[in-house]
Amino acid sequence: MNFVGKSIISINDMNKEELDYILVKSKEVKEGKWKNTLSGKIIATLFFEPSTRTRLSFETAILKQNGQIIGFASSDVSSTKKGESLSDSIKNISRYVDAIVMRHPVEGAARRAAEVSNKPIINGGDGANQHPTQTLLDLFTINEVKGHLNNLKIGLMGDLKFGRTIHSLLMALSFYNCEIHFISPELLRVPDYYYDFLKKKNVNFYIHEDFREISKDLDILYCTRIQKERFSDPIEYLKVAGSYKISKEDLKYLGESTYLMHPLPRVDEISPEVDNDRRAIYFDQAENGVYVREALLGLVLGTIK
Ligand code: CP
C-alpha cells in the first residue's frame, strides 16, 4: 500500500484496502508503535474556515510526532484578504513545506489545491462536500466499539444536505455492506447525487424523519449540527433549526449497544446531560482524530509503512 506523496481529497478517491490500511496504522499509532515520524518535516495548516478539532488535532498530531507547523487559523490574516487566489497561495506555500492540511468554504477547493501543489494536500473539509479525515476517525471509533465495520446498521441524523461529514461517511460505509438509515427533516435530506451513489453500490438505505422510530435497532446513531452558515436563506434555516434534539429522556429510545456519535461542534442536537452515558462516544471520536491524523501524515510522507 503506497500513500507516499498522495493527496487525500475525497473518500471517493480511495478503495476499501486503503481505508483498512489507514485504520491499522492508526491503531498502531494509538498503541505507541510509531514515534518521531514527522521529525524534520514542516506541515502547513491553512484554515480558511473556522475549526477547533480538525486544526488542533492535526497540529497535536504533528507536534506529537516531532514535526513543525506553519499556517493560519483564519483567511483574514493571509494574503487572501488582499485578493490572492487560492492557487497562488498553494503554489507558494507548497514550496515551503512537506505537506499541506487545508479547510476551505468552497466545494472543490482542496482538489484545485492538489492540482497546483507539488506536495500532498489533505482536505480538512471543503464546503458541504467532503471531510475525509473525519470519516477515517469515525470509522476508527466505530471499529473500536463494535470490533468490526461490516454489516452494521448506521443512522445518519441531522443536516444531511450540507453535512460534509455525512457525505464522506456514507461513501466509506458503502465498502462495508452497512445498512444506512437517513434521519432528517425533508428540507435537510441528502442530495440526490448520494442516493444515486448508494444505489449504484447496492447499499440498502431507508429514509426517516424521527429517530425514535428506528434507534433501538441501530448500531450507531450519528448526529450532526444543522450547518447554519451554509443556508443562503435564513428563513429556510429557521424552518429546521432545533428540529431534533437528543435529551437524557430520549436515551430510552436507543438500544443498549446503540452508540451515539457526533463529529462536533454541537449546538443543541445533543443535550450535555447525555455526555456521561456510556454510549455517548463523541469525545472519544475527537481524541481518535489525533491518532488517525498522525498515521495519515506519516503515510503520505513515507515515514509510516
Ligand atoms: N469535526 C470537525 O470538523 O470539527 P471542527 O469544525 O471543530 O474542525
Range of lowest pLDDT (85-89, 131-135, 207-211, 243-247): 243-247
The secondary structure of residue 32, as a DSSP letter, is: T
pLDDT tens digits, 2-44: 999 999 999 999 999 999 999 999 999 999 999 999 999 999 9
State the catalytic residues.
Answer: 53-54, 82, 103, 131
Mutate to test the pocket of ligand 1, among 51, 133, 164, 293 (most ligand atoms within 8 A of CB): 51
Contact status, residue 85 vs residue 104, Cβ threshold 8 Å:
no
- The SS3 call for residue 134 is helix
User: What residues flank ligand 1, with Cβ below 6 Å?
Assistant: 51-54, 125, 134, 263-265
Which residue is closest in CA terms to ligand 1's atom 1? 263
Which letter, b or e, does each residue of 172-208 get, where b requires 16 or more Cβ atoms within 10 Å of its Cβ?
A: bbbbbebbbbbbbbeebbbeeebbebbeeeebebeee
The pLDDT value given to residue 1 = 85
In the numeric block, the cell 448520494 is attached to 194
Angle at the Cα of 211 from the Cα atoms of 193 and 11, rounded to 5 degrees: 35
Mutate to test the pocket of ligand 1, among 45, 48, 53, 225 (most ligand atoms within 8 A of CB): 53
Q: What are phi and psi of 249, to 5 degrees?
A: -55, -35
- Proportion of the chain above pLDDT 90, given as a percent: 90
pLDDT tens digits, 220-279: 999 999 878 888 788 887 877 877 889 999 999 999 999 999 999 999 899 999 999 999
The pLDDT value given to residue 242 = 78
- Proportion of the chain above pLDDT 70, given as a percent: 100
The pLDDT value given to residue 241 = 81
Question: Quick one: which of 24, 263, 276, 34 has its CA closest to 144?
Answer: 24
pTM over 0.75: yes
